[in-house]
Structure formats: C-alpha cells, structure tokens
Amino acid sequence: MNQDQAQGKWDQLKGKAKRIWGELTDDDFLKAEGSADKLYGIIQERFGDGKEAIQRKLEDLHLP
C-alpha cells in the first residue's frame, strides 16, 4: 500500500464523517462534500492516484 492508497482510506473515513454530520445538521452542502470526499478516497485507494490526478481525470470525462 503506497501513501496515496493510505490517504484514500483516510479520505473515505473523512467523507463518511462529513456526510453523517451533514445529515445530523441537515446541511445538504456538507452531505454532498462528504460524498465527494468518499468517492476520491475510494479511487485513491484502488488506483493509488493523488487527489489532483483524480480531479483531472474526472474533469476530462465532462460529467455534469
């Protein structure tokens, strides 16, 4: 496991915590941010890419 994969695990945990806190406080933006952090964490863990590289790849897909 490289450093980016370990960071991915941390980002997943952080994203889940943000999402749960957003649900508790009824903060839709925090829930969305938590879901995005969790997605980045999963991708980082699986592929070992850094967050910036993942953002570039997702932007290249031109998702709405």
Q: Is the pLDDT of residue 36 over 70?
A: yes
* pTM given for the model: 0.68
Residues in the chain: 64
Cβ proximity of 49 and 7 under 8 Å:
no
What tokens does 21 get?
A: 């806190």
Cβ proximity of 48 and 9 under 8 Å:
no
Residues 28-35: contacts with CB under 8 Å, at least 24 apart: none
Token pair 């991708």: residue: 43
Residues 9-20 have pLDDT tens digits of: 888 888 899 999
